[in-house]
Amino acid sequence: MFKSDKSVFVLLFAMLLTSSVLAQRSEPKQTEIQGHTMYTLLEPGGIPAIFEPQFVTVSEAESTYYADEPLLVVVRGDDARGYSTWHLDHHEIVNEQIGGAAIAVTW
């Protein structure tokens, strides 16, 4: 556990799904496999990974996020990061460094 007064950062993604992106989706591709229909909603790579996440301070996050918003939190030494599960729903993975170690955050 870390104390609330430590520098904890919450991930703020620059890329969010917008109505214009949703409007550009095409009909699902259908493939028959051994008599069963498989629907492909997104092509491989259709959900962008994040390679350079942007963070905000705890005080900034308190005015942006709900108090009960679920987070995935990674702590390594004195370095702690919080990842909003709502934002992670829109991305496959976050690739970054924390406390000098390469990590991959998935949801």
Tokens of 59: 């005080």
pLDDT digits (tens, 9 = 90+) for 41-71: 877 777 888 898 888 888 898 888 888 889 8
Phi and psi, residue 60, nearest 5°: -70, -40
Domain spans of the chain, in order of start: 8-106
Q: Do strands 8-12 and 79-84 pair parallel, antiparallel, or not at all (unpaired)?
A: parallel
Spatial neighbors of 101 by CB under 8 A, at least 6 apart, are 76
pLDDT digits (tens, 9 = 90+) for 17-39: 333 344 455 688 899 999 999 88
Instruction: Evaluate if pTM is beyond 0.75.
Output: no
Q: Is residue 6 very low, low, confident or very high in pLDDT (cuts 50, 70, 90)? A: very low
